[in-house]
Amino acid sequence: MQIRELAVPDSYVFDLVPHGDSRGRFTEWYRADALAEELGFPLPLAQANHSVSARGALRGVHFAQVPPGQAKYVYCPVGSILDVVVDIRVGSPTFGAHDAVVLDSEQPRAMYLAEGLGHAFIALTDQSSVTYLLSSPYAPAREFGIHPLDPVLDLPWPADVEFELSAKDSAAPTLEEAREQGLLPTMEQCSARYAALRAG
């Protein structure tokens, strides 16, 4: 697999290598050793999620309080999604910046997002299946969202798709409102978390 850092620091895309023959195809979609070598620490695996979405389903921008936060390793084995990472760490040099990667079943890729980063995706096809590994378990009181259509974020959602959001995501604050409410993690908190993980 090939690994490259995205425009948002502490997020990466993994270009995976599928192996196929007349029987079908095989892909190593997650390698703990490769991720640990890139990050300098292993992903503490606490939960694995799987969602299936209709075309236009827009999920996010989601994040969790730091510490501990919630790192994610995202893979799309069926269908196609546009996966987006947003730097919501107050004090980060790239605060408000984003990057996006198409994850699909044709050219397999995975994305890693560190604790403190915002995550969102839109399904580009019906029955898009997304599997993601999480560094901390679901904790509703510590998890928040930012409206994915916040014009200040200007995320690269396709123009030819009719969006469908959950009630929770529709009611989420803008980035600025979330900052004013003190919901966003700080770069200082995130850097301390990353250092603690590297120290073991």
pLDDT averaged per 10 residues, the chain (length 200) = 96 93 92 95 96 98 97 97 98 98 94 98 98 96 97 97 97 98 98 95
Residue 120: predicted pLDDT: 98
**62 given a catalytic annotation:** yes
Residue 192: predicted pLDDT: 97
Residue 200: predicted pLDDT: 84
Residue 39: predicted pLDDT: 95
Residue of 30, 73, 112, 132 marked active site:
132
Residue 47: predicted pLDDT: 98
**132 given a catalytic annotation:** yes
Q: Which residues of 113-126 are buried (b: 16+ CB within 10 A; e: fewer)?
A: bbbbbbbbbbbbbe
Residue 161: predicted pLDDT: 94
Task: Give the integer Cα–Cα distance in Å for 134 and 112.
Answer: 10
Question: What one-letter code names the amino acid at 80?
Answer: S
Task: Give the integer Cα–Cα distance in Å for 197 and 200.
Answer: 5
Residue of 12, 30, 62, 98 marked active site:
62
Residue 1: predicted pLDDT: 86
